[in-house]
Structures are given as C-alpha cells and as structure tokens.
C-alpha cells in the first residue's frame, strides 16, 4: 500500500514546482503579444481567479476522497461507482494516458527551447535534449516517496530563488510602479478585448495548472482533509503573487512592446540589468525550474493509472507496486515512455492548447458538475472542506472553463471530442466483455 509520508510543506512544494515550470518564462511574451497592450496583466489575473475558484471544487473533493488518483476517484463517486461513474472515471484515465505525457512533454520541450540560449541547438539536438530530460526524470522518480519529498523541497528552493531574483532585479533597476500605473492605457472593454483575453488566458492558465497535483497524491498526504485544501490555496496564492510581480518586474525594465517579441525574455531582462554572466546564471536557473516541473507533474500523474487499476477499472498491470520501493513503477515507466515519444514529435504551442482542450470537459467541468450531484445525496459531514457561497463558485468555474475551451480553437476542441468519443467506444467494448455497467442488469 501507498504510505502517507508527505506533509503540508512538501505537498505545497510539489504543487508550486509543478505550477511554475517553464510556463511563465515562455508564455510571458506570448501573453503580451496576444493582448498587445499594457493591460496584458489582466490575463494573468484572470488565470489566478480561475485557479482560486476551481481550487474550491478540488478542495471539497480532495478532502472528501483523499486517495491516489485524484479525479479518477472524484468522478467515480460523483456519478455512481456502479453506474455512469464507471464511464466517467474510465474516460478520465483514458485521456490522462494521452494528456499526462503531453504535460510532461511540454515542460521538456520548453526546457530544450530555453536551453537554446546557452547551446547552439538545431532541430535534432533540441529533441535529444527534451527526450533526455524525460529519461532523467523517470530515473529520479524511481525511488521511495519520502526520498522524492526531499528532492521536491530542493527543487522548490531553486524555483523560489529564481522568481525572487527576477522580481528583485526589477525593483532595483526598473521603474517597478510604471506597468501598474499604465495598466489601463488604451484599454477598451469591447469584443476585441474579450477575445484577446480569452486567447491569452489559454497561455496564462497553462502556467497555473498543477495547483491540484496534491489530489493525485491523496493516498500519500498526511492529515489529508486539512493539508490537501491548504496546500492548494497556499500554492495558488504564492504563485499568483510571484507571477504578477515577475511580469511587472520584467516590463519595468523592458517595455511591453519590445518584450512581446523576445524569445528569451528573462535572459534578456537579466542581461540588461546585470550583464552576460547574470543572464547565463538566470537561464540555468530557469532550466532548473523547468526540470522541477517535469519532476512534479510526472510524479502526480503516475498515480492515476495505478489507482484505476487497483480499483479494477483499468489494465491490471498498472496496479503493480515496486517490490521494495513501494511505488507504481509500471505506471511511471509507461507515462515516461509516451512522454519521451511526444517530446520528439510535437511543437510547444500546439501541446499547450491540446493539454487544455483534452482535459476541460471530462476533468474540470465533469467533476464540477459531479460535486453538485454529490452534494445532493451525501450528508454535509461527508465534506470536511466546504466552499463559501456554494454553489456560485462551481457555476463560475464551469463558465470560465467553457470560455477557455472555446479559446483553444475549433481544431483542438474537435480533437478533444474525438479522444472522448474513442474512449467511450473502448469503454463500452470493455464493459460488454466484462459484463459491467450498463450491461450488468444486477447493478
């Protein structure tokens, strides 16, 4: 059995290093370019609001069902363990087997892209770097959970130091209040602005993803009914402040209309305020952060196929734990292998949109609706954490996720629907063969 060895500090660290990753460093100029104005900060504020609201849903579910697998358990319980919950939980694992390696690959591809500032990488060597990152992560995760907790804390220290150095550089060398004072210059609340913030929020929300990673590790968290919600809100609050401060810091030195065209914006920022050596060091630290993100994401996702397999809802081979280290090694190796392949095949911008489009319907919107269903037939005592103003945050989360889904574009929405359709077909074939719902009349 999995052992509860991760405390609040380690759980928060795992969340935060998963959230930061390479995301804010490579999406910062993307967001500025899409907003095309000093009001680009609103896209980051929108991402923070969505994360806080959605974390209320995750907190209620995570505290009520603190098991390995996160959304797998939430969807199964919400829609009925012997009814539609079988289909919904299977669909979640099905899409996780595709989108989880995409998440891991996106961080590895981002790592290789930013490494080009230091190394003369071509198309082939860049893919070699991204693939090598995935392999190294799997090697590091092939150990006991308490050792992983210690590694997470070490990586987290590097993440926090990097963010504070960037923010401190803007305070010391830039006009730190200027971006905030001019945030509304040229702003018109019209269709163009709403459209722009929708597209830009796809990139900013990607940088916030991971605040729920602790739910996937629910079976390994101490005092989970309190530590799961606390770790989520602490990590979102901390990261939101750091992201906004970092954006302000960078654009206080490099004007937004110049920053939007820079591929290595943070390195350019540090070079401008402290020279080539500082730019080299901060680039190395950004790569450290990207590596930490791959580490955290792979850790959390490796528990999902394991949880489903233990429950009898997925292939049995994924239920195996390492005989001495007691972690789901088959699940880890499979996701790592697929992430390795994806890191060699895809571009980063496509991967970011695909990640969101593929998971929004089943995971985010699906479990938000599921929480409403659970609240109707379970006693209040079954939920150790209760969100304020229920059910308003749920409806708000659903509306915001729907907007993000539309903003990913028709191609990505269609791809996500095809993945769901294929998973549904596979489920019904599996259910008919095993006499499971809806083919088991007794159930």
Task: Tell me how far apart the alpha carbons of residues 145 and 11 are, in angstroms, rounded to a whole number.
Answer: 12
Domains: count for the chain: 1
441 located within any domain:
no
What pLDDT score was predicted for residue 352? 77
Integer CA distances (angstroms), 159 to 44, 60, 403, in order: 19, 28, 30
Q: What is the pLDDT of residues 80-90, one digit of tens each?
A: 988 999 999 99
When pLDDT is averaged across residues 178-193 and rounded to a whole number, the result is 90
Q: Helix (H, G, I), strand (E, B), or coil: what is residue 200?
A: helix
What pLDDT score was predicted for residue 268? 95
Integer CA distances (angstroms), 43 to 17, 49, 212, 247, 360, in order: 21, 10, 21, 11, 19
Q: Is the dihedral of CA 118, 123, 126, 128 positive or negative?
A: negative
Query: Are the C-beta atoms of 272 and 254 separated by less than 8 Å?
Result: yes
Which long-range CB contacts under 8 A does 431-438 form with residues at least 24 apart?
A: 431/86, 431/87, 436/86, 437/82, 437/83, 437/84, 437/86, 437/87
What pLDDT score was predicted for residue 356? 83
When pLDDT is averaged across residues 259-284 and rounded to a whole number, the result is 94
Closest CA to 79 of 71, 70, 88, 90: 88
Reply yes or no on whether the pLDDT at 442 is more than 70.
no
Integer CA distances (angstroms), 373 to 145, 199, 367, 423, 430, in order: 34, 31, 9, 23, 26
208 located within any domain:
yes
443 located within any domain:
no
Hey, which residues does 221 pair with through a beta bridge? 6
Q: Residue 112: which domain range?
A: 8-434
CATH number at residue 89: 1.20.1740.10
440 located within any domain:
no
How far, in whole angstroms, is CA 81 from its chain's centroid? 26
Residue with the bigger pLDDT between 437 and 289: it is 437
192 located within any domain:
yes
What pLDDT score was predicted for residue 221? 94
Q: What is the pLDDT of residues 374-384, one digit of tens each?
A: 999 888 888 99
What pLDDT score was predicted for residue 68? 84
What is the residue-averaged pLDDT of the chain?
90
Joined tokens for residue 430: 């599996």
Q: What is the pLDDT of residues 236-270, one digit of tens each?
A: 999 999 999 999 999 999 999 999 998 899 999 99
73 located within any domain:
yes
Dihedral through CA 60, CA 64, CA 68, CA 72, nearest 10? -70
What pLDDT score was predicted for residue 218? 92
Q: What is the pLDDT of residues 388-435, one digit of tens each?
A: 999 999 999 999 999 999 998 888 899 889 989 999 999 999 899 888
Reply yes or no on whether the pLDDT at 145 is more than 80.
no
Q: Is 157 exposed, middle or buried (0-12, 13-18, 19+ CB in 10 A)?
A: middle
What pLDDT score was predicted for residue 147? 78
Q: What is the pLDDT of residues 329-357, one digit of tens each?
A: 999 999 999 999 999 987 777 777 888 88
Banded model confidence at residue 441, pLDDT cuts 50, 70, 90: low
Say how many Å lie between the first and final Cα of the chain, rounded. Answer: 28
Dihedral through CA 127, CA 133, CA 135, CA 136, nearest 10? 150
Q: What is the pLDDT of residues 109-132, one digit of tens each?
A: 889 989 999 998 998 999 999 999
What pLDDT score was predicted for residue 424? 95
368 located within any domain:
yes
322 located within any domain:
yes
Residue with the bigger pLDDT between 25 and 65: it is 65
Kindly provide the b/e burial profile for residues 392-420, where b requires at least 16 CB atoms within 10 angstroms of the residue's own CB: ebbebbbebbebbbebbeeebbebbeebb
When pLDDT is averaged across residues 291-303 and rounded to a whole number, the result is 83
């Amino acid at each position: 059995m999995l052992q509860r060895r991760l405390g609040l500090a380690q759980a928060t660290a795992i969340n935060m290093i998963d959230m930061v990753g390479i995301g804010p460093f490579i999406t910062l100029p993307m967001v500025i370019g899409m907003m095309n104005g000093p009001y680009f900060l609103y896209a980051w504020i929108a991402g923070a609001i969505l994360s806080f609201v959605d974390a209320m849903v995750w907190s209620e579910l995570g505290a009520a069902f603190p098991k390995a697998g996160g959304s797998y358990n939430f969807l199964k319980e919400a829609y009925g363990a012997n009814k539609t919950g079988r289909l919904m939980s299977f669909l979640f694992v099905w899409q996780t087997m595709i989108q989880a390696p995409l998440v891991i690959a996106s961080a590895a591809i981002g790592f290789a892209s930013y490494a080009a500032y230091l190394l003369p990488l071509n198309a082939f060597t860049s893919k070699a770097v991204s693939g090598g990152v995935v392999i190294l992560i799997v090697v590091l995760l092939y150990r006991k959970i308490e050792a992983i907790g210690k590694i997470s804390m070490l990586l987290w220290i590097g993440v926090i130091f990097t963010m504070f150095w960037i923010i401190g550089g803007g305070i010391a060398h830039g006009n730190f209040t200027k971006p905030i004072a001019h945030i509304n210059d040229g702003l018109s609340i019209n269709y163009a602005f709403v459209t722009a913030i929708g597209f830009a929020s796809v990139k900013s929300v990607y940088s916030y993803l991971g605040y729920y990673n602790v739910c996937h590790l629910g079976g390994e968290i101490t005092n989970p009914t309190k530590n799961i919600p606390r770790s989520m809100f602490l990590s979102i609050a901390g990261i939101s402040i750091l992201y906004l401060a970092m954006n302000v810091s960078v654009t206080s030195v490099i004007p937004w209309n110049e920053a939007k065209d820079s591929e290595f914006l943070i390195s350019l920022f540090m070079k401008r305020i402290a020279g080539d050596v500082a730019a080299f060091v901060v680039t190395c630290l950004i790569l450290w952060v990207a590596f930490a993100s791959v580490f955290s994401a792979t850790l959390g996702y490796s528990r999902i196929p394991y949880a489903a397999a233990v429950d009898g809802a997925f292939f049995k081979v994924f239920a195996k734990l390492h005989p001495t280290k007691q972690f789901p090694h088959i699940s880890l190796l499979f996701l790592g292998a697929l992430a390795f392949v994806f890191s060699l095949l895809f571009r980063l911008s496509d991967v970011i949109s695909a990640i969101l489009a593929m998971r929004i319907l089943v995971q985010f919107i699906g479990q938000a609706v599921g929480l409403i269903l659970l609240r109707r037939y379970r006693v209040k005592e079954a939920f150790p954490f209760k969100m304020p103003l229920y059910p308003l945050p749920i409806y708000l989360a659903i509306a915001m996720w729907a907007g993000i889904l539309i903003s990913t574009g028709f191609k990505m929405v269609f791809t996500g629907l095809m993945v769901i359709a294929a998973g549904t077909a596979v489920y019904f074939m599996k259910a008919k063969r095993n006499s499971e719902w809806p083919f088991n009349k007794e159930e």
